[in-house]
Every structure is written in structure tokens, then in C-alpha cells.
Amino acid sequence: MVIHRRHAQLLKIAGEKGIKFSDVEGDDINYLDQLDKMGLIELDEEGVFAPTYSGALLTETIESAPEFGGLPLEEWDEDFRFIGSEIISMLHTAYLAQGRTGAIFEKELAERGFSSDGKLTPIAYSVIELFEKAHPRLVISRELADYLRKMPPGPGYRKHLPAGKHILLELEGMRLLSFSIPRSDIYSLSGLGQQLRAAIIHSAPAYEVIIDERILKAFLNGNYRDLPEFDKLVAMAFVKPDGELLTAGRHLIPAARIYFEGPITVNPSVDLQLFDICALKCLEELEAKGEIPTEEAVADLIKKNFKLENINVRKHLYRLVAARLADICFGGDEECFRLTDWGREACEDQKRERPIPAHAVKSITLTRMEYTAPEYDWFIKGEKAGLTGNGYPSKSGLLYARIASNARRIPFIDGTAASALRLIPLTRGIYVEELRALWKEKDDLDDVLSGLDAALVVDLLPGGALVLTEVGKLIKRAIQGCPESTQYPVTPALALLVSRLGDHLEKGTEFTEALKKTEKELGFPSKYVENLVLAARRCRYLSARNLTQNGKYLREATKLLAEIREIWEEIAV
């Protein structure tokens, strides 16, 4: 959604007396078309444009803005963005932080009347409501298709976008294009925009209208063969004559899911610190030599290859396991580690050794949402890590985005991460700078939060705020009875044991028998399981014969985390 001065003026006129289509002159037809596609006006049977519910609410909001310190409509510059994707992103972040606005974007919201004294105003909530209720129309003309075909999908610098004022407004109005907060200097196509662009690139645009809602609906339902224009779909290379999907058609299915079922809301990431990478490479070397990859063997190799001592090797091995770059295995009763296929791909990529922070990966995955482009700092981190460049995700960027979107994570929380979780409110967002003022640990807070974000425990938001995810809320509850001195409140093996044991206990299996079944299913040695049970009792996940309430929270978090996926059709660069 994007509102400039002329949009607002026409919306007001439409509300007061309607606008006859036959009376429209000049550039106004473009602005009215954009308002129509935003779901703010509609053309009735008599050929008159009138506001929708969201459009009428927006007019009221614009008229009320001066009461809350916002600029009156008559003082707007022609290209003043009263609403844009970046404004919606700011409002979303502030809403999750219980209506408190962050320092990064307070000024932008205040000049629109959306913020006062650091809090959202009533009209800000009106904008949030009208945005959620307005469902944009989708029509991809040949002109739009040609523009999408030649533009890089992002993330990239706005100044590098091909010229086309009304095309950009149209794309943003249909929620296909987003800009970054606070100054819109970075752009990206949304998840819907990226999938439509991919479909267009692989198609042969032979008609004036390439894609519309009816075509998308047919691909979603699988009945596109029944469309009267099926021959056109064949001619445009969406499907074969026998109805088999071609690449262009396959991209229309996730596009249709996003459009009809709702936008992508998961922002997955990967966080690889330098010590993680050292451990990853040592596992690869030990595997190549046929040696048993124990914690001690990895520590010795790190000391030899990287001249590093006194690092917590176990922590970094567990981080790899939790991210599904490594698995736990056993040499007798001893805990060992081996690379997964994801881990081997990451090792190959890390021939150019560099850290991969969560923000860098989110500069790609975040763009798949409805109205969010990565803020400038995230974008720079992505470029520095070699994950993006020239307006495209790189091969490395696609790899880490793929891992982030598909890996079946397992919980891992060390003592420092637990300290951070104890400071984060359970049901509202908090700004990182507020958290920093409370932070007493020696570890760098940004590194800790990056790890928690990659673990899908917190969600780092544009504008400097964060919230607990549903998994994070469960884990925060689970560790509340764990002694604060515990080095590892949750390890991957402990989480798996509690989850699987709980499955059997829930079925009424006697505790000893349930433990035997769990041991067999997980393939853990008996002594190893005994130690896990002791740890579970110390952390108050287990009582004498059953899971405690905290244990049930951990079990639920483990199951939920394993189920989280981002449904996404991979787009070749």
C-alpha cells in the first residue's frame, strides 16, 4: 500500500461525490487504478469509483492526522509518502512492542500523526486495521511483466531500480514491492512479487494480461485445465498441452498460496560464528581421515589448525547440531558428531571463510514477507558476507536461505542465551537498546541475539526490536525452573529425550518402559540416557516418574520447532 498526495485527494473526492470513470482525465487514471488495486476504491455498475471500507477509513485517518501532530493534506509534497511499505513495517514493529515506537523511526511516524511521545496514536491503529482489511487486486499486464522481467528482485539499492514512477507505485500498491525503514533506500520484491517475477521470466508473455486473480485461483485449486483460456496458458509456457506444469506454472502455485491464503510470516535465518566454522571444518577433516569425531578430537584439531585454545568446543558443536549442520552419533558410549548434508554444503561454501550473521541471511528471507525489505545495516551485512550483490541473492545466499527455510531445528540454549531469555518479556516486544541497558553478561549481546534468532527463539525485527516466537515463549517457560548456574539448560539430546519420552508417557506407558523405548528409538547408549535423565531432573523437566509442566513446555517447543517450514519454490538466480 502506498499513498501520495494525489491518491489522498482522489480518495477524498470519491468519498464525497464519487468519480465517474468517463470524467477521468490525464494522470488521474493511473492513480485511480492504483487505488483500485490497493483495495481502497471500487468501480460500481454505473461506472463510478467509490471508497471501500478501508478507503473510507483511510480518508478519516488523513483528515484526523493534524490532530495528532501530522501534516495536513494541503501541506504534503507531491511525492510525500503518507503510507508506504516502510511505514507499514514501522507500525508493525511498534505494534509488537506494545505500541512503543523506536528511536530509529520515531520521527517518520510523528510527522504523519502516527506517533506521539514515543507511542502509537489512535490513527496509527486505524492504518494497521485498514491495511489488514484491504485485499489488493492482482493484475499483471504485459507492461508490468516487462518491468518485472528486467528488474533485479532485490534486495538492492533503490537508486538502481529501472525508471517507472507509476509502475513502482502499482507494484507497491499490489504488495509486490517493499522498501526499507526508515528512508526507503533499500528495495525488494515481496515473496509474492518474487514468485510472480520467476513465473514471468520462464514464460512467454504473449497477451495483454499475463496473470490475474482468476488464473492464480485456478493454479491454487489445480483446475487450470478447465479455464477457457487454457490454450493461452500453453502459449505463455505455464503448462504443456497435456496440462503438465512447466517451471513458470510451478512458481504460480506458491504465488497463489501467498495471495489467497496469506503472506509468509516466518523469518528464518542461519547464524554461523567463526568458532562454529572452525568446528564445522574440523568435523569435515576428521570425517575425511576416518577418525572418530569426538569433542576432544575436534578441540585438538582446532588447536592445531587454527591456533585457538580455551574455546567452548561443546557449545559450538551443539550449535551445529541444533542448526542441523551436524548430528550426534556415538563411538561406544562416547558422544560424537558428524556432518549432515547441510553441513557439507556449508563447509564447501566456507572455503571462503567468513561469519554468517542472522541479519545477513534475513536480508534475503525477510523479503518474502508482505511489506518488508531489509533495513540498510542488514543489507550491508548481507553484502559483506557475500550473500547478496547487484540486487540479487548470491549462490551462497540461496544456500543459507534454503538451510534456514528447511532445516528441522532442535532446541539448544546455553546459559548465556538463557540469561537473555529471562530479560525478554513473554508477551510483548522489546527494543535491543532497552535490552542492552539490562545486559550484565560478558558475551556480546548482538551475537547472543543473532544465535537466538537463527534458532527461531526470537524474531529480530526491522527498526531494532525483537519478540519471542511461539517456540521462544515455550522455551522461556520451560527454563524458568532451571538453576541459573546451569551451563546448558537445553541441549539437543536433552530436548529430543524429553520430547520422545513425553510421547510414551502420554500414551500411559510406565516410566521405566517408556525410557527403554525412548533409548531404543533415539539410538542413545544407556549410560548417555542416564546422564540425560539426571540433567532433566536438575533442570526440573522430569519429576520422579513423569514430565513436569516445564518439561511439557520443552516437549511442545521441540515438536513445534521441528515442524516449522517456509513453503517456498526455489528461484534460480
Query: DSSP letters of 492-541?
Result: HHHHHHHHHHHHHHHTT--HHHHHHHHHHHHT--HHHHHHHHHHHHHTTS
Amino acid present at 236: M
Q: pLDDT-based confidence at 34, cuts 50/70/90? A: very high
| pLDDT band for position 246 (cuts 50, 70, 90) | very high
For 330-365, how does the pLDDT look when each residue is reduced to its tens digit (9 = 90+)? 988 899 999 999 999 999 999 999 999 999 999 999
Highest mean pLDDT (candidates 84-88, 162-166, 259-263): 84-88
Domain ranges of the chain: 5-133, 139-261, 274-349
pLDDT of 319 higher than 60: yes
pTM: 0.94
What's the pLDDT band for 371 if we cut at 50, 70, 90?
A: confident
Fold of 274-349: Arc Repressor Mutant, subunit A (1.10.10)
pLDDT, average across residues 453-482:
97
The pLDDT of residue 36 is 97
* Gap between the Cα atoms of 320 and 316, Å rounded: 6
Model confidence at 528, pLDDT cuts 50, 70, 90, reads very high
Tens digit of pLDDT for each residue in 248-263?
A: 999 999 999 999 999 9
Output the pLDDT for position 208: 86
Give pLDDT tens digits for 428-459.
Answer: 999 999 999 999 999 899 999 999 999 999 99
Mean pLDDT confidence for 358-385: 95
Residue 332: what pLDDT?
Answer: 86
Model pLDDT, residue 209: 84
CA 287 vs. chain centroid, Å, equals: 34
Residue 524 above 90 pLDDT? yes
User: What is the dihedral sign for C-alpha 557, 559, 562, 566?
Assistant: negative
pLDDT of residue 527 exceeding 80 = yes
pLDDT at residue 514 tops 90 = yes
3-state secondary structure of 120: strand
In 391-491, alpha helices (H): 395-406, 415-423, 432-438, 445-454, 470-478
pLDDT of 310 reads: 85
